[in-house]
Amino acid sequence: MILRVRLTPNSSCCKINGIFVDPNGDEWLKISVISVPEKGKANQELIRFLAAKLKVSKSDLQIICGELDRYKKVLVQADEEQIRCLAEEIN
C-alpha cells in the first residue's frame, strides 16, 4: 500500500494531525515531527514514527517519492489490520 503524507518538520511533537485535501482532491495524511529537515533527519523520524504506529519494522517502510519535498509517498508493507488501526486513530 502507498501512504501519502504531508510532513511538517520542526514541530513541538510527533503526531498525526488529520487529513489534508489538496486542490486536486487528493488526500494526504498530515504528520508533524520534531526533527529539522536537514540531512534526512525528518524523513528518518517519519519512518520511525510510522513504524511505531503501524507496529511494523522500519524496513517495512520506504519513501518512494518526495524525499526532498513535504509531500511524500511511503510504501508500506503491512497487513490490512495494522493499517485499519492507524485509520481509526486518525478518526
Task: Write out pLDDT tens, residues 9-62.
Answer: 999 999 999 999 999 999 999 999 999 999 999 999 999 999 998 888 999 999
User: Phi-psi category of 24—alpha, beta or left, where left has phi over 0 and alpha has psi -120 to 50?
Assistant: alpha
Q: What's the CA gap between 37 and 9, in Å, rounded? A: 6
pTM, rounded to two decimals: 0.88
Task: State the pLDDT at residue 86.
Answer: 72
Domain at 2-90: CATH code: 3.30.1200.10
Q: Where are the domains of the chain?
A: 2-90
Task: Count other C-beta atoms under 10 Å from residue 58's C-beta.
Answer: 12
